[in-house]
Structure 1
Amino acid sequence: MIAVSGGGTGGHFFPALAFIEYAKKKENILFIGAKRGIEYRLREIIGVPSLFFEIYPFRGVRLKERLRALYGVLKAQRELYKKLKGDFSSLVFGGYASLPLGIHTILRRKKLFIHEQNSVPSRTNKLLSRKAEGIFITFEHTRKYFKDALKTGIPLREKVKKRYKDAKRKLGLNPEKKTLLIFGGSQGALFLNELTERLIDLLPEEVQVILISGEKHYERFKDLKGVKVLPFSLDMALIYSASDLAITRAGAGTITELSYHGIPSLFIPYPYAADDHQFFNAKEIEEIGGGLVIRQEEANEKVVLKLLERILSDYERFKKGIKGFYKEGAEKKILDVLTG
């Protein structure tokens, strides 16, 4: 059996889900996540036996919340001893939701493997790496922390890899125009929504916009003139198939999906991401010629417009650059190591 954990946010959950969808055809899988995470809300799509615990983040919270988080991890250990029996190995994708399984695997002296999506490892992965049998990474920058890691890239769901013909028409867009996708991950980003509001009248006539606002902000932005506004989409392959370039945050999963679909991007990293990892994620893409990076405090509409024009003026080179980041077969490489 392989026990898999990753969640709290979509950045940790969706790579875990992609691995599960591939590996469950060959191995017995048990998924472990947090009740407060995105994985619990989307539990019906996981497709394997799952356990969810009352666990909480340690980082950026007060002492009271840290004690609650510690209690949650200890309580999860008792449940794991009851439910996770026999021989198993574990694969964790980072974040607080992965900590109970990682600790349990070490205590049981089983094989622990880590997948680190971002350029700068999470505290959970740094902690667990000391006892890990193997570590898989996405960015070259991560070798500063894990020198012997295997670079596999991020597992992507087959659903995300789908390519739609005539996607622009399916979304009610003009197939003759370039489509600019603006989005801030699974929860949206208020800053990017407000930037869209200011940017829309400055864009060239040949550019149309899709904005994924996030459900929380949808009511405020749903009537933006000339913009296709969606609160959230589980069919991102359709969105990507209709998109030619993007303005986005710089989560590792988002970058990998954009890379697979060959969508050059202007990255505005989330300024409060742990250890500024989104900036380093995006910087690696800029260095290989797949996009441009700007800090949020510098990203006014005039500067953003100039950077978009720069991408459009050398579009094929940027497209080729971002495509070069994607690594095919991450889920197979990881499973081969776990079962080898």
Structure 2
Amino acid sequence: MSRFVISCGGTGGHLSPGISVAEVLIDRGHDCWLVISRKQVDARLIEDYPQLEFVRAPGSPLSGNPLGLIYFIFGQIRLTVFALRFFCKVKPEAVMAFGGFASGGIAVAAFFRKCPLVLHEANRVIGKAIRILARFALRIYLPEEVTVPWQKRASQVRHFGYPVRRQIQKIPRVEAREEIGITEKGKLVVIVGGSQGAQALNDWASQCLEDLAMEGVSLYCVTGLGKGHEKLKEVEGKNGKRIKAHFIPFTNRMGEVLSSADLVVSRAGAGTIAELIQCQVPAILIPYPYAADDHQIANAHYLQVKGGCVVLEQRFIGKLTGAVLDLIGNDERLRSMRQDLERLENKKTSDVIAEDLEQIASGSSNRITTGKVEISV
């Protein structure tokens, strides 16, 4: 039995894969602690996992103003001290970090403790945190087909993809709708803005109701925490039929929500895309235009090339209603997209990551010294 610490807080895109890996490690008889942030989204997401050990750590994300930079630096110092004390207590044999502001201090503490560090990059553009921390890492997990211009040891890189939580499973559409209280039997569009919501998509969802209703299309919108209250709207469609639109701020049942959809409209975070693939639901992706290094645009275009989505930039959101109606009315196109998504599905990601972590913890993987890392494939 080995001991692992997983740093995965701050957003659903970081926390969800951490939960997925932790579940497998615990099933294999290991001890595992998940270090998360104190943000509301983390608190809500962990409610369904009382069997896992979560540790709330200090720290705040980096913002663009001088005061925000000071808070960030101070938070990283506090996080490093916290992690050093915590590691002295639990004595991990490997530490895994999923990037973001919650990873910096954890990785530094792992370095000082001479504990093997493993990094996971979910997006198709390697983020700043992973780039900075790479020099301390024994292993880096990247998405398939992602290459980088810097590397000395090819053994340092593994292309393992994104670990999806067990809760996120494709189930029959009728069953999925029953599970989340959707009684409509016609076409359904689901809007998902990621774990933190997307105001532009929420605004579109409120404005497009009549147009969708006239085509008999219902709507289910996950607005994001702090971006509205749960409500149900009814709009008159053709022949006086009442069409429903559901708005909820958060859901712990994303597998059922996605499985209930004929079409999803969403941002293009790596976690959302992995869940779309898992549930095999076609999507129109609206990449967040201010994402660091335009990583959501890279994520979205990759899935579009693979046939699983259509990409529409936010500056063209005025065309979204037409795009939705065109696509949701084309059953043959939707069927083809579902088949392409099925070919992309990989259910074993968490298992292969857990196996690699076991090897690292046992010392069977070669350890590297610090220095500039040049990752090649």
In the superposition, the TM-score normalised over structure 1's length comes to: 0.90
Deviation for aligned residue 1:43: 4.6
**Residue of structure 2 equivalent to 1:78:** 81
Quote the Cα distance in structure 2 between the aligned partners of 1:253 and 1:23: 20
Using a 3 Å threshold, how does the CA distance of structure 1 residues 219 and 51 change in structure 2: closer, same or farther?
closer
Give SS of 1:64's match. helix
User: Residue type matched to 1:167 in 2?
Assistant: A
**Residue of structure 2 equivalent to 1:107:** 112
Quote the Cα distance in structure 2 between the aligned partners of 1:146 and 1:159: 36
**Residue of structure 2 equivalent to 1:212:** 222
Deviation for aligned residue 1:304: 3.9
| Greater relative CO (CA pairs within 8 A, separation 6+) | 2
**Residue of structure 2 equivalent to 1:33:** 36
Pair 1:151-2:124 in alignment: no
Using a 3 Å threshold, how does the CA distance of structure 1 residues 161 and 231 change in structure 2: closer, same or farther?
same
**Residue of structure 2 equivalent to 1:248:** 266
**Residue of structure 2 equivalent to 1:160:** 168
Quote the Cα distance in structure 1 between the aligned partners of 2:123 and 2:268: 10
**Residue of structure 2 equivalent to 1:318:** 337
* Residues 188, 215 of structure 1: 8 Å contact kept: yes
| CA RMSD after TM alignment | 2.3
Give SS of 2:297's match. helix
Give SS of 1:217's match. coil
**Residue of structure 1 equivalent to 2:123:** 118
**Residue of structure 2 equivalent to 1:52:** 56
Please give the residue correspondences for 1:174-189 in structure 2 after superposition, counting only pairs within 5 Å: 174-175=184-185, 177-189=186-198
User: Residue type matched to 2:59 in 1?
Assistant: I
Identity value in percent? 26
Using a 3 Å threshold, how does the CA distance of structure 1 residues 100 and 46 change in structure 2: closer, same or farther?
farther
Please give the residue correspondences for 1:230-245 in structure 2 after superposition, counting only pairs within 5 Å: 230-245=248-263
CA displacement 1:8-41 (0-9 Å, x = unmatched): 1111111111111221222111221222363245
CA displacement 1:252-303 (0-9 Å, x = unmatched): 1111111111101000011111111111101001001111101101111x45
**Residue of structure 2 equivalent to 1:201:** 210
- In terms of mean alpha carbon deviation, does 313-322 or 329-338 score higher? 313-322
Pair 1:24-2:26 in alignment: yes
CA displacement 1:161-193 (0-9 Å, x = unmatched): 262552234423323x22211121123221111
Deviation for aligned residue 1:215: 3.6
Pair 1:267-2:304 in alignment: no
Deviation for aligned residue 1:318: 1.3
CA displacement 1:291-323 (0-9 Å, x = unmatched): 1101101111x4542355146421211111223
User: Residue type matched to 1:264 in 2?
Assistant: P
Deviation for aligned residue 1:207: 2.5
* Residues 180, 208 of structure 1: 8 Å contact kept: yes
In the superposition, the TM-score normalised over structure 2's length comes to: 0.82
Quote the Cα distance in structure 1 between the aligned partners of 2:170 and 2:339: 19
Give SS of 1:110's match. coil
* Residues 7, 103 of structure 2: 8 Å contact kept: yes
Quote the Cα distance in structure 2 between the aligned partners of 1:38 and 1:220: 16
* Residues 291, 311 of structure 1: 8 Å contact kept: no
What residue ranges of structure 2 are gaps of 5+ in the alignment? 236-243, 360-377
Using a 3 Å threshold, how does the CA distance of structure 1 residues 38 and 213 change in structure 2: closer, same or farther?
closer
- Count residues in correspondence: 336
**Residue of structure 1 equivalent to 2:15:** 13
Deviation for aligned residue 1:200: 2.3
Quote the Cα distance in structure 2 between the aligned partners of 1:190 and 1:80: 35
* Residues 139, 281 of structure 1: 8 Å contact kept: no
Q: Which has the larger radius of gyration?
A: 2
- In terms of mean alpha carbon deviation, does 19-28 or 328-337 score higher? 19-28
User: Residue type matched to 2:167 in 1?
Assistant: K
* Residues 11, 196 of structure 2: 8 Å contact kept: no
Please give the residue correspondences for 1:279-318 in structure 2 after superposition, counting only pairs within 5 Å: 279-300=297-318, 302-306=319-323, 308-310=325-327, 312-313=329-330, 314-318=333-337
Deviation for aligned residue 1:238: 1.6
Quote the Cα distance in structure 2 between the aligned partners of 1:195 and 1:81: 46
Quote the Cα distance in structure 2 between the aligned partners of 1:323 and 1:74: 44
User: Residue type matched to 2:142 in 1?
Assistant: I
Give SS of 2:247's match. strand
What residue ranges of structure 1 are gaps of 5+ in the alignment? none
